Structure 1
Amino acid sequence: MNAPQFHVTEISDAYWRASFGNGSDNSIDPDTIEQLDELVARIEAAPALTVVVFDSLNRETFMAHWDLTTDRARLTAMRPRPSGLHPYVDNLVRLSKVPAVTVAAVRGRADGAGSEFVLATDIRFASENAVLGQVEVGLGAVPGGGAMARLAHLVGRARAAEIVLGAGDFPAALAERYGYVNRVVPDGELDWLVDSFARRVAGFDKTAITTAKALLDLASLPADEQFGPGMTAYLQTAWRPVNAVRIREALERRKGWDPY
């Protein structure tokens, strides 16, 4: 049995906390996809649940990019879901639409796939030490989890282009200014802010929460068909031999391009 990566604490029927942990670097791999599928289904089926907080067991990395050493064949062999989307993308689309409010408490880095997870949540609160970014283009690949569609809606086309095509680091203060995250607070205040907000939402009527969220989704979420092409492009570009040197060099200079 594979080790659990999402550790769920049911604080109450209305308020859950899901803490992510996967090895020393908190990267995302095929086990993450399968376990997130189970967690999203569990959230969808919880009758009283109104808010879920996602945080990390690793204070240095909220969620890292895709594990480039993992089994590529297992990823590419995953069959599309009834939505027609690859399971990785399908999970994020479903996560963005669960009836409960989802809150990301971002401490440390959220790179590539980690950033795409953050973008699929409803609300993003960040520690002053958070760093977000879409690293894929810098590694010779195309983001596969919907970064282009979500960022364009969230921060506008020009800033989305800067984030995706520049493949650099976006420290917390800049991410807040761009609208990549909702709010940045001192690191020591992040847990208090997130817990206070979650408890407030958990005290509200579920029907009001789910109906209001569904209408927000209708007004603001990208159409599902915008997500498939990105994953197809990722699978076509990520493991090309020409990328090998670029990946090695980029991972050696972990912080990458950061002029800010």
Structure 2
Amino acid sequence: MTKRDSFTPTRFELTRHSGAFWRVTFDNGPLNLIDAVMNVELHRLIDEIEDDGQVAVVLFDSANHEYFLAHYEAGSDMSPLDALEPSAASPWLHWASLLIRLSKSPAVTITALRGRARGAGSEFALATDIRFASRERAVLGQFEVAVAAIPGGGPSTRLPGIVGRGRAFEILLGGEDFDGELAERYGYVNRAVPDTEFVKFVDAFAARVSRFDVRTLAEIKGFVNAASLPDDVALKAEMRAFIEAVDREPATTLIGKGLKAGWGQPGEFELNLGSQLAKVTGAR
């Protein structure tokens, strides 16, 4: 197979610790917002993993200890997605496709949550194989219900198999934040680790797994995926429902209220988004 030219991402740093162990460190402005450029670069990352064939583990972390991935940037320029295969339905489907590819990647994917991961940030974490959280610093949540929107990146389809039906409803319908300790109790993450031990623990686990035979790891992942991953059709249907929801009332008005109040901007509103967005949009 002919390998693609190497690339230099702008929204994250790619560190190849070894042929088998890669690290992706998100670093995109003060909130680590997801945008179309990051979407394209993550698709390219998965291309590289698939082309390489020797990557056993990819560890995702963040240079910003307040935000792992805050959420998708509302109103961001979609034109960079033109670099990907065109989607007749909507460019938003590239996000759903990315998360499907991430889950099915031959490499074991590990999320190191040290900071906030809400909305699409939470969706990204849920699409990875293993999630570790800093007990004191991690925050996860799906806030979309507060703006009359359906989460688009698969949490309604993935969460029931991860945390159970009732807890999936609680996460999605409550729109509240979950700290590392509660996320561990619910199964939202594998384990919550004290922050003082977090980096050492996650790095050691990722390095340990990366030393095992890459083919064996991929085969184990394949069997687990076959038993546990939701259907691609359902995941893409969820994104289509999101696209429809954000284009109708009351979502358009509520999203505007949230943006005016500080959604997507550094400050107290974003730090406490789970409670603040619901308050501004009238849920409480």
- TM-score, normalised by the number of residues in structure 2: 0.83
Deviation of 1:69 (Å): 3.5
Match of 1:95 in 2: 102
Residues 1:32 and 2:38 are matched in the alignment: yes
Name whichever of 247-256 and 216-225 sits farther off. Answer: 247-256
* Contact preservation (8 Å) 1:155, 1:180: yes
Task: Output the CA distance in 2 between the equivalents of 1:155 and 1:86.
Answer: 25
Deviation of 1:3 (Å): 6.6
Aligned residues: 256
Task: Output the CA distance in 2 between the equivalents of 1:77 and 1:140.
Answer: 31
* Contact preservation (8 Å) 2:40, 2:83: no
Counterpart secondary structure, 1:227: helix
Task: Output the CA distance in 1 between the equivalents of 2:198 and 2:40.
Answer: 29
Deviation of 1:66 (Å): 1.2
* Contact preservation (8 Å) 1:138, 1:246: no
Deviation of 1:248 (Å): 3.9
Residues 1:47 and 2:53 are matched in the alignment: yes
Residues 1:190 and 2:202 are matched in the alignment: no
Residues 1:245 and 2:257 are matched in the alignment: yes
Match of 1:113 in 2: 120
Cα 1:73/1:10, change in 2 over 3 Å: closer
Deviation of 1:242 (Å): 2.3
Task: Output the CA distance in 2 between the equivalents of 1:249 and 1:15.
Answer: 41
* Contact preservation (8 Å) 1:138, 1:167: yes
Q: Deviation per CA, 1:127-158, whole angstroms, max 9, x where unpaired? A: 11100000111122111100111111100111
* Contact preservation (8 Å) 2:20, 2:55: yes
- TM-score, normalised by the number of residues in structure 1: 0.91
**Structure 1 residues not aligned, in runs of 5+:** none
Match of 1:145 in 2: 153
Which letter maps to 2:110?
Answer: V
Task: Output the CA distance in 1 between the equivalents of 2:235 and 2:118.
Answer: 18
Deviation of 1:247 (Å): 5.0
Task: Output the CA distance in 2 between the equivalents of 1:36 and 1:19.
Answer: 12
Which letter maps to 2:49?
Answer: I
Name whichever of 38-47 and 122-131 sits farther off. Answer: 38-47
Counterpart secondary structure, 1:257: helix
**Structure 2 residues not aligned, in runs of 5+:** 1-7, 277-284
